[in-house]
Structure 1
Amino acid sequence: MKQRVLKVHPDDNVLVALTDLKKGEQIDYNGNSYTLHDDVAAKHKFLTEDLNPGDSIHMYGVLVGKAQQPLQKGSLISIGNVKHAASDFTTGDRKTNWVKPDVSKYANRTFNGYHRNDGSVGTGNYWLVIPMVFCENRNLEVLQQALVEDLGYGRNATYQHQAKQLIDLYKAGKSVEDILQADISADYTKSNNKRLFENVTGVKFLTHDGGCGGTRDDSDALCALLAGYITHPNVAGATIMSLGCQHAQVDILKEEIKKRVPNFDKPLFVLEQQKIGKESDFISEAIKQTFAGLILANKNERKPAPLSKLCIGLECGGSDGFSGISANPAIGYTSDLLVALGGSVILSEFPELCGVEQNLSDRCVTVDIADRFSHLMRTYDSRAKAVGSGFDMNPSPGNIKDGLITDAIKSAGAAKKGGTSPVVDVLDYPEKVSKPGLNLLCTPGNDVESTTAEVASGATVVLFTTGLGTPTGNPITPVAKLASNTKLYNKMRDIIDINTGTIIEGEETIQQAGERILEYVIGIASGEIEVAAVRHGQDDFIPWKRGVSL
């Protein structure tokens, strides 16, 4: 018989419903019986003991909330009867011993990547076109229209074809009712021209709304973020389009590039519109220089590299009540495998580490690193509170509907993405990963801002878990989407890459799923698997302004 409930940690006083449960049902689990006082939908939780107002609720072995009224054993916990609560944290003793997973079968495994002169290895080979300021966004769009289609990087014409069908119906005199009832869903894919530069994965245009008009801190952070993309292993070179008078000056960008790669030697073409003058001359020069850069980039070819050269970003979005017991711990095991192999992983989204700070602090390899983590967490939370918010306001309506009723519940499950290895470094946005192992990166919980930052810090593949579904991608790093439940996987197969609902259904263990995911990552890194976000051209890119974003 399929298991109907789960206790995640021995110290928990809630059980998770793995399927819909009805009021009045008797649930037997590990020798105990519970009569339900409410309907409990799958992904939600009910109490295993009576509680008085103010009593603690534990899940994942940590404090996740407190009762707001008398509650009986077998009662559903909800936003109506539970309030967010999390334990405080201190810089305690180091707890950095961990049981490394057996990675002997991966000892001689490689992936085929693009080797850079700084020793890094990319999973792609992109050319970037970057504006220093939002004033140049329109010029980037003109450049994109001029280059992308003819170079062979155009997307499928399915939706253009559907629009054409509607145009033909309108010209034929069909009514609004006829048009609304027309079947235009038949798949139609226009074959793109063969790529002119076969070894160039793509040409990407990183439009943004920054560079001027805000604080100097914001423009400086933008320069650092852009430097992270230019020096990224997945990037062959870049064209920089500057207006000239903006806060985000090219000299600041070059200094940030030098910080990351002192002997930077990729092709980098910089054009300043106020120096060149006429728009037509400016864009013509940008086209010529970009084309010349693509010729140089095309000389790069994939070659074998050890798995230790991989850097995986760990992300979640549209999470549900199963995320913390299927998809997140599965990629957590993948993380442990990669760390044991000498690779790097990045765990970000600091608002979604609320309540598990003590565990992560204890796992930091030095007191200084633990202190930096504590400082960044407390500073971030205080900034949020100063504008009337706070980490407790992080869960979205979708999170709450699907069982993540407090930030601490959401965070305790989200932190599972980081596995169990020691924390080797704590980075502030948008610093670069420089150490193999588990790195913590200060970012918002906002999916795109966080993914954008992880890539700037060096992630060459991103594993993105979701329980509700999201199309999020990135311009230069493949973002693989993992469903926490099979229903989502089947419903949104066009944007989801991997199903971990098999864990909920008892078809495989977390460890088995983690190994399966690592095999998938190797395929992505070698260019053998194209993830859905890349296939759809989902090039999400949002720099974080250091104001409050949860």
Structure 2
Amino acid sequence: MNDLLVLRQGDDVAVATRDLTPDDRAVAPDGSAVVVRGAVPRGHKVALRAVAAGAPVHKYGQVIGVATADIAVGDHVHAHNLGFDPGEREAPLGGTHTELTVPDGVPRPTFRGYRRADGRVGTRNYLAILTSVNCSATTAKMIAEQFRGAALDEFEHVDGVIALTHTSGCGLVPDSEGGQMLLRTLRGYAANPNVAGVLVLGLGCEMVPGAALSARSGSVADLGMPGVGAPDDAAGSGLLAAIPEDTVVRSMTIQETGGVRASVRAGVEAVRAMLPAVNARRRTECDVSELVLGLECGGSDGYSGITANPALGWASDRIVAYGGTSVLAETPEVYGAEHLLTARATSPGVAKKLLDRIDWWRDYVAAGQGTLDNNPSPGNKAGGLTTILEKSLGAVAKGGTADLTAVYEYAEQITDRGFTFMDTPGYDPVSVTGMVAGGANVVVFTTGRGSVFGCQPTPSIKVATNTPMYDRMAEDMDVNAGRIVDGTATVEEVGEEILAKILAVASGEQSVSEELGIGAEEFIPWHVGAVT
């Protein structure tokens, strides 16, 4: 292992692979050395050449900011001498094409998933209690609590009964941008292939009524309970037409059922009546092309764009090469690297849609007295990331090299195959919620500082960017990509390990966050617009 990592020829900075102290002689991979002028924590940047104040600083072969003071060879380059400057970036409207290949003579990968009536494949088999409004959240949790532990022993093919609760649903105009976003999210979770049964629970007087979420009858007869029903399609104008026909759907409201206690009793009865149909589902052999992979990073550090993200990008490329789908997200965290994505767009329209979403974000944050460079977070900076440009350049590595085939709005259904993008915030639970609503059936989450994220009903696999954090939080991590910096594994080798883990988890192996039961509280729809 060298002391420094130089990511592109001509870069002004290198990344320290260990804590460096003043006068250390730090060696780069080509054998050249730099005498360090001050303390530089591992993962942070060391100047390879002098940069005058006001001049651009390059990493990854791209501009990551401008020097705010003269930088000498061997200096620690960080927030004290490197600042954000939007600069000028030409964003091509497509034109770059990458031909992805798969190994010759190797059988196509498969996994054991749940094939739904609409042809999509689930990696889990959940029954979800979906709340239309925050007012029904506590009642939903009370119902779900009755199905913990031994309560599901006789239903071995059911992964769990989960309460998907949120803080909205009332005081929100349904036809507004925020109202439509919430509706898309709730409907998307009901239609996700990892969900085989849905009980929609409302209060009864909210602006987003439960009838709008349970518009299609389930596959079993009306349960005939007070306040419980399977409304016909006309009740919601076909709002749930995308739900597979073999998904059991029921709805109830607390007011019609007789209050909280009565609703808990009726809800428990409804779930018990639905469980046999959910339990009847069975895993079958499914092609790797049926994966819809959500790509997420959180608690990033200076190694994220060097280890875990490129390794995940390798796995993403391989899935896409086999005909599968991957989804990159977090629009504020591709800002500064959007030109690398638009160059890979399959059409000018796809590229333009991404640029339009970034323009929307500029206006959105400006209305809140902010700017898109209000990032990285304090934790990111402690890990060595200085500007949003640097952070974004590392973040887009999760998307590999594949062509960009589509750009989706938040929680929109993902229908295109290949490498795609969804417009979401950078806040991890909100971002992943959007991708799961869009149809992601597995998520890989890379982290450098040590995120404890989990997700239900879609399993989340966590990949550590560095070995010290992995060793410290091994019980929370699935894969250690820090071995790339340690010199004990290549990006491709870790990418193969990530792909193998994706296939194993898609077949039913639990990720560590699933073992811990993490995931229900991470259902957080994006709130946009006025609440009246």
- Shared fold, TM over 0.5: yes
Q: How far off is 1:364 after superposition?
A: 0.9
Q: Tell me: CA distance 1:490–1:522, structure 2 relative to 1, closer, same or farther (3 Å).
A: same
Q: 1:544 aligns with which of 517, 526, 531?
A: 526
| Structure 1 position 229, deviation (Å) | 0.8
The structure with more helix, counted as a fraction of residues:
1
Quote the residue 2:38 is aligned against: 38
Shift of 1:92: 2.4
Report the Cα offset of residue 274 of structure 1.
2.6
- Distance across 1 between alignment mates of 2:23 and 2:238: 63
Shift of 1:105: 5.6
> Does the 8 Å CA contact 2:130/2:190 hold for their aligned counterparts?
no
Identify the residue that residue 200 of structure 2 maps to in structure 1: 240
2:183: which partner in 1?
223
Deviation larger for 22-31 or 48-57: 22-31
1:198 to 2:156 alignment: yes
- State the Cα deviation string for residues 226-257 of structure 1 (Å, max 9, x = none): 11111111110100111121111234334697
Tell me the CA shift for residue 215 of structure 1.
4.6
Query: Following superposition of structure 1 onto structure 2, how do residues 369-518 of structure 1 map, counting pairs within 5 Å?
Result: 369-518=350-499
Rounded to whole Å, the distance in 2 between the matches of 1:484 and 1:141 is: 35
TM-score (norm 2): 0.91
Provide the secondary structure at the position in 1 that maps to 2:277.
helix
Structure 2 matches for 1:85-484, cutoff 5 A? Answer: 85-104=85-104, 107-152=107-152, 195-216=153-174, 217=176, 218-253=178-213, 254=215, 258=239, 261=242, 264-484=245-465
Alpha-carbon contact 2:91-2:338 (below 8 Å) kept: no
Distance 1:267 1:258 in 2: 16
Aligned partner letter, 1:546: V
Q: Aligned partners of 1:263, 1:417: CA distance in 2, in Å? A: 30
Q: Which amino acid aligns with 2:3?
A: R
- After superposition, the Cα gap between the structure-2 partners of 1:302 and 1:68, relative to the gap in structure 1 and judged at 3 Å, is same
Residue aligned with 2:305, SS: helix
Q: C-alpha separation between the residues in 1 aligned to 2:113 and 2:243?
A: 22
Alignment RMSD: 1.9
2:65 counterpart letter in structure 1: G
| Aligned 8 A contact 1:91 1:367 in 2 | no
Check whether the contact 1:91–1:371 (CA below 8 A) recurs between aligned residues.
no
| 2:227 equivalent in structure 1 | none
Name structure 2 gaps, 5 residues minimum.
Answer: 216-235
Question: Does the CA-based 8 Å contact 1:12-1:60 persist in structure 2?
Answer: yes
Mapped contact 1:54–1:67 kept (Cα < 8 A) = yes
Distance 1:33 1:394, change over 3 A: same
Asked whether the 8 Å contact 2:56–2:66 carries over to 1, the reply is yes
Q: Partner residue of 1:174?
A: none
Relative to structure 1, the CA distance from residue 143 to residue 263 in structure 2 (aligned partners, 3 Å threshold; closer, same or farther) is closer
Q: 2:212·2:239 contact (CA, 8 Å) conserved in 1?
A: no
Alignment check: 8 A CA contact 2:166 2:525 kept = yes
TM-score, normalised relative to structure 1: 0.88
Query: Following the alignment from structure 1 to structure 2, what is the Cα–Cα distance between the partners of residues 455 and 105?
Result: 34
Q: Distance in 2 between matches of 1:131 and 1:43?
A: 43
Instruction: Say whether residues 1:530 and 2:510 are aligned partners.
Output: yes
In the comparison of the two structures, how many residue pairs are matched? Answer: 504
- Cα pair 2:190 2:243 within 8 Å, conserved: no
Paired amino acid for 1:80: H
Q: Once the two structures are superposed, what CA deviation does each residue of 1:466-521 show, in whole Å capped at 9, x if it has no partner?
A: 11111111120110111111111111111111101110011111111111111111
Contiguous gaps of at least 5 residues in structure 1: 153-194
User: Aligned AA for 1:494?
Assistant: E
- Residue in 1 that maps onto 2:20: 21
Contact 2:424 2:431 in 1 (8 A): yes
Match of 2:228 in 1: none
Change in Cα spacing, 1:257 to 1:448, as seen in structure 2 (3 Å) is farther
Displacement of 1:389 after TM fit? 1.6
Question: Compared with structure 1, are the counterparts of its residues 486 and 260 closer, same or farther at alpha carbon in structure 2 (3 Å cutoff)?
Answer: farther
Q: Quick one: distance in 2 between partners of 1:86 and 1:260?
A: 44
CA distance in 2, matches of 1:214, 1:358: 35
SS of match in other structure, 1:58: strand
How far is the alpha carbon of 1:382 from its aligned partner? 2.3
How far the C-alpha of 1:276 sits from its partner, in A, is 3.0
Contact 1:63 1:86 in 2 (8 A): no
| Equivalent AA in structure 2 for residue 372 of structure 1 | K
Distance 1:360 1:257 in 2: 35
Q: 1:505 to 1:124 in 2, by over 3 A?
A: same
Which range is displaced more, 17-26 or 431-440? 17-26
* Pairwise CA distance, 1:333: 0.3
